[in-house]
């Protein structure tokens, strides 16, 4: 029986993307990535990284250093209890400065060479597999071999759309939502087919066929309905406004999904508690201000604490912001 796999881009999918990584110390896992990969493993998928690495052709990193970078990636994942099954990369680019790597390649996404090689090496059924990445090159490579595709398009991902490129089957804000999508599709695929209705006995069918069919009566002719009086048309909304409102709505939905599938954070919890204390201090200030004794010293102390706590809450929120 053939295997099924999750093909994953590397940068901005599993690890942070500061640019061209050329040192193992620059490898930093994205928040929640190890846990998500572990969940995908538990679903029975092979985990295969397929990554364009034109930095080799551009002279930014050597293949030897790239190997060390990938060993560091595997080490960080192993510390979290998860492992990759294979890593494929394409070092070639037509505009490279290193002659050895200055050429086009079937392995460079959106070409599907790396996925086809993995399918051959690991006996992978591409129709039962998924391609996950943050660019249309990833999506096109997966679509060209029949994989289902998921584009990462959250606040920490720059969605690079190319004209004419195939649309992803799904979009997700991070790998945690990717797991949720794949689980949902796996459950729907395992549902039993609808049960066919019980066939009628042959004798009953024959008797039914022998019954004379009822004659259909011609429907009486009806008078043609009066033509409705056309109402004055309303001016159509400007397409630019519609597009702007649609983009704003999509962004709000994306932020809601990011919060839904974000990881729990103690910093966020402390920020929320601190914000609640600010509210209590403001209530105390109002009470001191409206009291008959006019306790101005207590009023100033309450306002001071409110300002201090508000600054602390803002600091915690900034610390918890996108990395």
Catalytic: 9? yes
Q: What is the pLDDT of residue 75?
A: 98
What pLDDT, on a 0 to 100 scale, did the predictor assign at position 130?
A: 98
Q: How much is the pLDDT for 132? A: 98
Looking at domain 5-188, its CATH superfamily turns out to be HAD superfamily/HAD-like (3.40.50.1000)
Residue 38 CB coordination number (10 Å): 16
The active-site residue out of 9, 17, 134, 138 is: 9
Question: What pLDDT score was predicted for residue 190?
Answer: 66
Q: Is the pTM of this model over 0.85?
A: no
Examine residue 160 and say whether the peptide bond preceding it is cis (omega within 30 degrees of 0).
no
User: So what's the pLDDT on residue 252?
Assistant: 55
Residue 236: the pLDDT is 45
123 as an active site residue: the answer is no
Determine which one of 11, 17, 134, 138 is catalytic. 11
What residues does 58 pair with on adjacent strands? Answer: none
The closest of 57, 68, 60 to 90, measured between CA atoms, is: 57
Give the per-residue pLDDT at 195.
44
Taking the chain (323 residues) in consecutive chunks of 10 residues, what is each chunk's mean pLDDT? 95 95 97 97 97 97 98 98 98 97 97 98 98 96 98 65 82 96 85 48 46 43 48 47 57 52 63 83 79 75 85 73 45
Residue in 8, 98, 18 with CA at minimum distance from that of residue 60:
98
Neighbours of 297 (CB within 10 A): 8
Q: Give domain limits for the chain.
A: 5-188, 266-319
């Amino acid at each position: 029986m053939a295997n099924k796999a999750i093909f994953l881009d590397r940068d901005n999918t599993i690890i942070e993307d500061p640019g061209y990584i050329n040192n193992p110390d620059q490898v930093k896992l994205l928040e929640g990535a190890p846990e998500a990969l572990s969940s995908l493993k538990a679903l029975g998928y092979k985990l295969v990284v397929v990554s364009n690495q034109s930095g080799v052709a551009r002279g930014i990193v050597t293949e030897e250093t790239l190997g060390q970078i990938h060993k560091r990636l595997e080490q960080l994942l192993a510390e979290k209890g998860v492992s990759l099954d294979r890593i494929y990369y394409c070092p070639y680019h037509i505009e490279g400065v290193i002659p050895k790597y200055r050429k086009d390649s079937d392995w460079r996404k959106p070409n599907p060479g790396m996925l086809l090689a993995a399918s051959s090496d690991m006996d992978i059924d591409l129709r039962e597999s998924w391609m996950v990445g943050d660019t249309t090159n990833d999506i096109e490579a997966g679509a060209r071999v029949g994989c289902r595709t998921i584009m990462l398009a959250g606040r920490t991902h720059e969605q690079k759309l190319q004209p004419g490129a195939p649309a992803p089957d799904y979009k997700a804000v991070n790998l945690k939502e990717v797991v949720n999508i794949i689980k949902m599709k796996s459950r729907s695929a395992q549902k039993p087919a609808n049960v066919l209705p019980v066939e009628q006995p042959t004798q009953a069918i024959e008797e039914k066929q022998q019954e004379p069919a009822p004659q259909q009566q011609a429907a009486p002719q009806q008078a043609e309905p009066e033509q409705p009086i056309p109402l004055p048309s309303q001016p159509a909304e400007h397409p630019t406004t519609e597009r702007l409102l649609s983009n704003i709505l999509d962004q709000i939905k994306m932020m809601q999904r990011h919060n839904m599938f974000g990881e729990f954070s103690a910093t966020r919890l402390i920020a929320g508690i601190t914000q609640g204390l600010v509210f209590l201090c403001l209530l105390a200030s109002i009470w001191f201000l409206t009291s008959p004794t006019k306790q101005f010293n207590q009023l100033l102390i309450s306002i001071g604490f409110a300002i201090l706590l508000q600054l602390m809450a803002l600091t915690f929120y900034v610390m918890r912001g996108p990395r």
